[in-house]
Amino acid sequence: MSDWFSEPANWVFLVVGLGVAGSALRVVTSKNVVHAALYLVATLAGTAVLFLLLSAEFVAWVLVLVYIGAVVVLFLFGIMITRAPIGYDASLDNNRRAVAAVVSGALFLLMSWAAIDFFGSEPLQGIGEGTPTELLGESILGRFVFPFEIVSFVLLAALIGGITVARKDATPAEAEEQV
Amino acid sequence: MTLAPILVLAALLFSLGVYGLLARRNAVLVLLAIELMLNAVNINLVAFEAMLRDSLAIGQVFTIFVITVAAAEVGIGLAIVLLIFRNRATANVDDFSLMKW
């Protein structure tokens, strides 16, 4: 155990991991919708730091840009548009919290047991070295160019689908007027 | 640095996401919980990439794919929530029983 603490990367992981776990807990237990969304920002920022620690710089900044920059803003818009109760509200949770806690606790115990059992002392390589973005670019546009194109198509379909679903349809009277 | 603590953190995030998915009533908060679960998957992918260090950086490439799909999912999900809110004037998932028989 003293071995574990002698490595500086482990200290960073301990601090960041506790921050991520605490704010993730607040995301699912907060009584305030806006606070829950802002705690998600803290969770994702901690995850980005963890990615930097695991020498995945490009992915860390993609996470910051896409998640914190776009997805959370979208969530805040959604909260405002659906007029979710801003401020303290006890009715955000249903009455099955005990069952949910048992299920998720059992899942956590099972998954962490499996992780420790199978990868107990597996060392990580190249901590603090960094992955060259060039390598990622060659990988995405070389070996994985087909999935990349499919993902871009998914994004396009989601864009068009989002507009189509959320658009306000004209009432029959309005539609007649437009013709 | 070893792999197991990172996997345990990811398992914790995933379980918290499952808890939020089951315990929340507000549809926007259910989507937030799904984001937590996807984030746990991302941490796992990057951690395994840091263990294997293959020549194609497959773990990081797939993390980017997961982030992209998550962004698409949030867009569509919020559009559906918005539509249901407009028709039913509520965002509580307990009240959405349209497809129950």
pLDDT digits (tens, 9 = 90+) for A113-140: 999 998 878 888 877 788 888 999 999 9
pLDDT digits (tens, 9 = 90+) for A130-168: 888 899 999 999 999 999 999 999 999 999 999 888 887
Nearest residue to A56 (alpha-carbon basis) of A4, A127, A7: A127
Residues 88-127 of A with CB under 8 A from B: 91-94, 96-97, 99-101, 103-105, 107-108, 111-112, 115-116, 119-127
Cβ-based neighbours of B79, under 8 Å, separated by 6 or more:
A161, A162, A163, A165, A166
pLDDT category of residue A63 using cuts at 50, 70 and 90 = very high
ipTM of the complex: 0.91
Residues of A in contact with B76 (CB under 8 A): 158, 161-162, 165
Residue carrying structure tokens 């606070």: A35
Interface test with B, best of A111, A150, A155 (most B CBs within 10 A): A111
Residue-level pLDDT at A83: 67
Mean pLDDT of chain A: 87
Q: Is A73 on the interface with B (CB under 8 A)?
A: no
Helix, strand, coil % over all residues of chain A, rounded to 5: 75, 0, 25
pLDDT digits (tens, 9 = 90+) for A74-100: 999 888 887 666 656 657 777 788 999
Residues 13-72 of B with CB under 8 A from A: 13-29, 31-33, 35-36, 39, 42-43, 46-47, 49-51, 53, 55-58, 60-61, 63-65, 67-72
Q: Is A145 on the interface with B (CB under 8 A)?
A: no
pLDDT digits (tens, 9 = 90+) for A1-13: 567 777 888 899 9
Mean pLDDT across B32-61 = 92
Cβ-based neighbours of A93, under 8 Å, separated by 6 or more:
B23, B24, B25
pLDDT category of residue A176 using cuts at 50, 70 and 90 = confident
Q: Is B95 on the interface with A (CB under 8 A)?
A: no
Residue A84 DSSP label = -
